[in-house]
Amino acid sequence: MNIFRRALKFNREAVPLIIILSLFVSLPAGEAAERKILLPPHFQIKVFASGLGAPRFMAFDGAGNLMVTLPRRGQVIVLPDRSGDGRAEERVVFADGLKNPHGIAFRQGYVYVAEEGRVVRFIDKDGDLRGEEMEVVVPGLPSGGGHWTRTLGFGPGGEMYVSIGSSGNVCFEEDRRRATIMVFEPDGGEGRIFARGLRNSVGFVWNSKTGAMWATDNGRDFLGDDLPPDELNLIVEETHYGWPRCYGNRINDPEFGDPLLCSRTQPPAFEFQAHSAPLGLAFYTGTIFPEEYRGDLFVAFHGSWNRSVPTGYKIIRLKMKGDKPTGIEDFATGWLVNGRAWGRPVDIVVDAHGRMYVSDDRSGKIYVITYSK
């Protein structure tokens, strides 16, 4: 185990190593029987698709088909549910041979995919759910190092945003594009840094009511079980969010701290338990959940790997009042049984009908959550 521990010290998001470690923490048969996801009363959850390997980020195409990235397989697949019964009837490989495809977004007939070192886009001309043509939109993104995921999304004004994690746990970066969210025109171009000091903002979304941009951020490792907090940040252009100099409410890092710089950084809008590893997030914009859930923010906690008592492995609900978080509560739990995880939530999306989908890159499944009395 020491070999794996030293390797993992470099990066919480090292998916292949996490998969290897999962072989050592598989649940005994008795505990496997307890694999049940718990939700508030009258919510239901079922498997939408399984056997996917390690599904990560998701998006719906213009016809309402769910698309998901499979970084370890180098694929983007489509999971059509033509009958609308909440189960994918088939899986179609939309694109293959990609390098760690992660972020995915649909815009004006194109499917945009963020690989580790570039952004590409595809178009399906004949409607067979396969990308016939590929075009490189943004080449030469930082590659290698610790945080390999690249997430993308389109803001209210149509610009394309791409998050780029740090190259290591805590360090000064040679490439100033690291630990940032960048913004590009939809057709590419040089782009510019939109926000910096974000160690690894794997997930970001916009509040459709206010237009505000929100992003999760994973704090550094090896400061103990409870430091530093993971973060939810309200993203504002030309703002510095602290890493590597500071964390939380302008707390100086013990190795890299700078009191003057930290006094000018933006603290998080909300702090999460350290090592929860918040990734994907989504505002609930549907109508089938009760009214009190509408407009709230749901966040996937991928779960800890270097904490003495594991934490995370769940979906939480942040109660929102406009652009202000007012409280937090568990929404979906059960992936962690007796200190061992059998699943790891990654991303959350809501379809046009108000159903919520959750990807899980440990169990290889995508779940759909609905509500009815």
Residue-by-residue DSSP string for 293-311: GTT-EEEEE---SS-SS--
What's the CA gap between 165 and 182, in Å, rounded?
11
Q: Where are the domains of the chain?
A: 2-371
Strand, coil or helix: what is 260? helix
Residue 16 is classified by DSSP as H
Cα 203 to Cα 2, 127, 194, 232, 333, distances in angstroms = 30, 29, 15, 10, 20
Please tell me the distance from the alpha carbon of residue 162 to that of residue 78, in angstroms, as a whole number.
22
Q: Which helix (H) or strand (E) holds 76?
A: strand 75-79
Return left, alpha or beta for 51; rule: phi > 0 is left, psi -120 to 50 is alpha, else beta: left
- CA separation (Å) from 53 to 16, 34, 40, 363? 11, 22, 28, 8
Q: What CATH homologous superfamily does 2-371 map to?
A: TolB, C-terminal domain (2.120.10.30)
| pLDDT score recorded for residue 34 | 74
CA distance readout (Å), 173 to 164, 167, 225, 235, 250: 12, 7, 26, 21, 20
- Region label for 254, one of left (φ > 0), alpha (ψ between -120 and 50) or beta (otherwise): alpha
Question: What pLDDT tens digit does each residue of the chain (373 aa) get?
Answer: 333 333 343 344 443 333 333 333 445 555 555 799 999 999 999 999 999 999 999 999 999 999 999 999 999 999 999 999 999 999 999 999 999 999 999 999 999 999 999 999 999 999 999 998 999 999 999 999 999 999 999 999 999 999 999 999 999 999 999 999 999 999 999 999 999 999 999 999 999 999 999 999 999 999 999 999 999 999 999 999 999 999 999 999 999 999 999 999 999 999 999 999 999 999 999 999 999 999 999 999 999 999 999 999 999 999 999 999 999 999 999 999 999 999 999 999 999 999 999 999 999 999 999 999 9
Using CA atoms, how far apart are residues 193 and 184, in angstroms rounded to an integer?
Answer: 9
Q: Nearest CA to 161 among 142, 186, 136, 189?
A: 186
> Which residues contact residue 292 at a Cβ distance below 8 angstroms, ignoring those fewer than 6 apart?
none
